[in-house]
Structure formats: C-alpha cells, structure tokens
A = this chain, B = another copy of it.
Amino acid sequence: MKSILLLNTQQSDFSLQFDKILKRAKLDIQGVEKIVKEMLDSIRLQGNKAILEHILAFDNWNPKNFEDLKIPENSMQQAYDNLDDKLRCSLQEAYNRIFDFHQKQKPKTWLDFEENGSILGQKITPLDRVGLYIPGGKAAYPSSLLMNAIPALVAGVKEIVVCTPAPCNEINSLLLAAMYLCGIKEAYKVGGASAIGMMAYGIDNAIKKVDMISGPGNIYVATAKKCVFGEVNIDMIAGPSEIGIVADSNARADYIAWDLLSQAEHDEMASSILVTTSQKLASEVSQRINEFLLKLPRAEITAKSIYNRGAIILTQSLEESIQLSNAIAPEHLELLVSNPLEVLPQIKNAGAIFIGENTPEPIGDYIAGPNHTLPTGGSAKFFSPLSTEHFMKKSSIIAFSKKAMDELGEKCGILACAEGLDAHKHSVLIRLNKKD
C-alpha cells in the first residue's frame, strides 16, 4: 500500500531528496512559450478575429462577434439573487472581511517638509484600468474573484475588467454571483493566453488595454503573463498550490492530515510538506492521510499529489525545522508549535503564515481576510501576497526651495560633472546664476 514519503534529515541522501522538494513545481515556461507567443502575436495583429478563433478551438463554442463574448450584467445579478441564503451570507461575510483587511494595506500619499523649505514625498495613485483573470471550467472559483477584485476596489481602480473561460459557452453561476457582489460591470468569456493578450494589448474599437493583470491560471496563462510583463504590470507568476507545516509533538495528527490533504486535492502538482521533530506524529499523520483519502470525492487527484509530491521530514530540532521551512519558502505555512510567537520572527520566507491549531489553511483561502493569491514554488523568498498596493503606483515628489537649491546645487553640479553630463550641470548652475 502507498504512503506519503518519509524523510529524515539524518539519512545519507537527505540533501539529494530535499533538493527535489526545493525544485518542486518549476514551471515549464519554455515548453509552452512558442505557442503562447504565437497566440499573443495573433491577437496583436488580428485582434478580435484571433480571439474568436481561439475560443472555437479551445472552448468548443462559436461566438459570432465580440458582443457574444460579453457577460451580461443582468446574468450576474440573477445568479446572485438565486443564491441559497447560507451561501449568500457566507460570500458576503468573506467579502466584508477581505475588504477590511485590504483597507488596512492601503498606502497614503505623504509629504515631508525640510527646514530649508523644500518638500519631498511620495504620491500614491490608483491604477486606471486593471484586468483580472479568473480560471473557469468545471470548477468554480468565486473566492478568486473576491481576492482579486476587492484589492482593486479598495485601491480605487475605476475600470475593472474580468476574463474567465467559458467552455461550451457556460459560466458557473457562483462566479457570476461573486461578480455581482464585487460590482463588476465589464466581463468577457475569454480564457487562457487569449485573455491575457486581449487585456494587455486591447482590441481596436472594442476593448481598451489595461495597466495591470492579476489572477491565477494554468501554465499557458502564467507564460502569457510573463510575456506581456513590461507592456503591463502583473501580480506574479504563480504555479501549483503548496503547504508547509512545522509541527511539534503537541500537534494533532488528524488536523495536520486534513490540512495536507486540503492542498493536495487542488492539483496533482500540489505540494504538501510536514516538517516535524516528532517520529510519533509523523507516523500518525501518515496513517491518517491514508484513512482520510478514502472519504474524498477527489481521491484520485489527491492521492497522486500526496503520494508523489508530498513528504514528511523528520528533524532533530525545532531550529532545524525552521531552517528547512525557510529554504522551502512555502506558499502557505502552518505553525503548529507550542510557542509560535517565539518562532514567528525566525520565519523569513512564506506567503502566508497560519498560527495555531484553530487556523487551518482553508480559513485563509476563503474568509480570514488576507489575500489567498500567494507566491509559490519558493518565490516567497522575493514575491509578496497580492495586495491593495499591487493596484496602485507611486510617484516621487520633489519641490526644492530657493534656499535648498543654494545649499545643494553646487554639490549636484560636481556630481553631474564627475559623470560627464554637462547639460545636467548647466541645468543646475543656471539656477544659481553661475556660468560654470
């Protein structure tokens, strides 16, 4: 019978095995780059026509014109009105909590006055127009819509465009309801690389280009986002979902087993890793995984993920556990240790940190408030969770007084001169009434 991989930092080939975990889920962008670039080029050159062709080819329906791609606003309201009461109430609670958290992230313009009378500062401005990509198909991801639309709303973005694939011209009603809740006015049944190209370049006389694209997607979407980066901004390049759990002997095996499985059920490529000092916990979790798996409707995907890509790593100390966790830099990290606040400052790399046994990772997927769009594949070493700030930009402000210019102009001229930039020097010296 299969079971989750068990590693021990003391085994001779540990670093070899651990290296596989570090290199988990490298996105094979090179493998799909050619086809994605062709699709993007076709959108740039043929616009609308290319989009309609892609939909016929990939989504199995035949839109006649661009109007056919629009998702009618009244279908969003209808879907919302038809929601079961409990579900509507849960969605509203999620909306409220996500909204509240993202408001706390909202940066403000600031100005600083110097004694010499000059002003330095930073102006914060919402982006004009952004595009949200929401995966579609059989599964429904209303939570992704909330997590991408709400920070844009909080930021004050005026124009929000949503793209989602509609295989066979069908869209999940829960996603439509979430669009209504977020006040989405402009949405299109376009998916994959086509959607990214359409939003990044715009379509003549039909759709304006956006300034920034956020949202999760498959390898084609991730690759297209990388290709259009620079033409527009993007949130990040994200791969399959992951969880890391650092636990000591006090943690409950049944909780951990469900938490690992909840990542594994997302995707065969998902990665679920427990790092613990407790041999007893390790074997209990392994057993519970096997038991619980049988209860799951998505058992096939979940089993592939947990058996092929999951692992339990036995360490010699909490310190070693933390060291491994920082090296893994997991998207989600659960801290199930006796004194989590002592550990927290040592956690350097993680998209979101879930502390204590009452904070299972799914609480962060839906309702806690912080964003669930998080860096994967180790990129938590340098990327941050999607936030209100992704939907705003900064401009520096400099207003020198005459006094400041008199004090600093000459030094500025000396530096310009040292870099061999004469017009720079003149531009300063003419304000000082100096010829040279």
Residue numbers of A with Cβ under 8 A of B are: 27, 29, 86-87, 89-91, 93-94, 97, 101, 104-105, 110, 112, 119-120, 122-123, 125, 127-128, 139-143, 174, 211-212, 226, 229-230, 232-233, 237, 254-255, 258-259, 261-262, 264-266, 292, 295-298, 302, 340, 344, 347-371, 374, 379-385, 387, 393-402, 404-405, 408-409, 411-412, 414-416, 418-428, 430-431
What residue in chain B is nearest A297 (Cβ atoms)?
B422
- Complex CA gap A366/B376 in Å reads 38
Query: In the assembled complex, which residues on chain B have CB atoms less than 8 Å from the CB atom of A233?
Result: 379, 382-383
Query: In the assembled complex, which residues on chain B have CB atoms less than 8 Å from the CB atom of A255?
Result: 427, 430-431
* A366 pairs with B412, CB closer than 8 A: yes
A230-B237, A394-B387, A427-B261 known; A412 and B367 CB under 8 Å? Answer: yes
* B393 pairs with A384, CB closer than 8 A: yes
* B363 pairs with A93, CB closer than 8 A: no
| Contact with A419, one of B143, B354, B374 (Cβ below 8 angstroms) | B143
Query: In the assembled complex, which residues on chain B have CB atoms less than 8 Å from the CB atom of A122?
Result: 105, 370
Chain B proximity of A232: nearest CB distance (Å): 6
- Complex CA gap A402/B254 in Å reads 17
* A359 pairs with B398, CB closer than 8 A: yes
A120-B368, A258-B430, A355-B397 known; A212 and B382 CB under 8 Å? Answer: yes
Question: What is the total number of copies of this protein in its complex?
Answer: 2
* B360 pairs with A431, CB closer than 8 A: yes
* A226 pairs with B230, CB closer than 8 A: yes
* A237 pairs with B229, CB closer than 8 A: yes
Chain B proximity of A193: nearest CB distance (Å): 16
- Complex CA gap A340/B398 in Å reads 12
* A416 pairs with B230, CB closer than 8 A: no
Question: Which residue among A89, A122, A354, A396 has the maximum number of chain B CB atoms within 10 Å of its CB?
Answer: A396
Query: In the assembled complex, which residues on chain B have CB atoms less than 8 Å from the CB atom of A262?
Result: 421, 423-424, 426-427
Query: In the assembled complex, which residues on chain B have CB atoms less than 8 Å from the CB atom of A349?
Result: 125, 395
* B226 pairs with A265, CB closer than 8 A: no
- Complex CA gap A346/B302 in Å reads 52
Chain B proximity of A240: nearest CB distance (Å): 14
Chain B proximity of A225: nearest CB distance (Å): 9
* B422 pairs with A232, CB closer than 8 A: no
Chain B proximity of A199: nearest CB distance (Å): 12
Query: In the assembled complex, which residues on chain B have CB atoms less than 8 Å from the CB atom of A419?
Result: 139-143, 174
28 CB < 8 A contacts A-B: A93-B408, A97-B408, A123-B353, A141-B419, A142-B419, A211-B382, A212-B382, A233-B382, A254-B430, A258-B427, A262-B424, A292-B426, A296-B422, A297-B422, A298-B422, A351-B396, A353-B395, A353-B396, A356-B399, A358-B400, A359-B398, A360-B431, A363-B412, A363-B428, A364-B396, A367-B412, A368-B408, A385-B396
- Complex CA gap A153/B226 in Å reads 29
| Contact with A112, one of B104, B354, B362, B397 (Cβ below 8 angstroms) | B104
What residue in chain B is nearest A223 (Cβ atoms)?
B230
- Complex CA gap A48/B54 in Å reads 44
What residue in chain B is nearest A432 (Cβ atoms)?
B358
* A127 pairs with B382, CB closer than 8 A: yes
* B423 pairs with A264, CB closer than 8 A: yes
Chain B proximity of A76: nearest CB distance (Å): 16
A369-B120, A411-B89 known; A396 and B430 CB under 8 Å? Answer: no
What residue in chain B is nearest A233 (Cβ atoms)?
B382
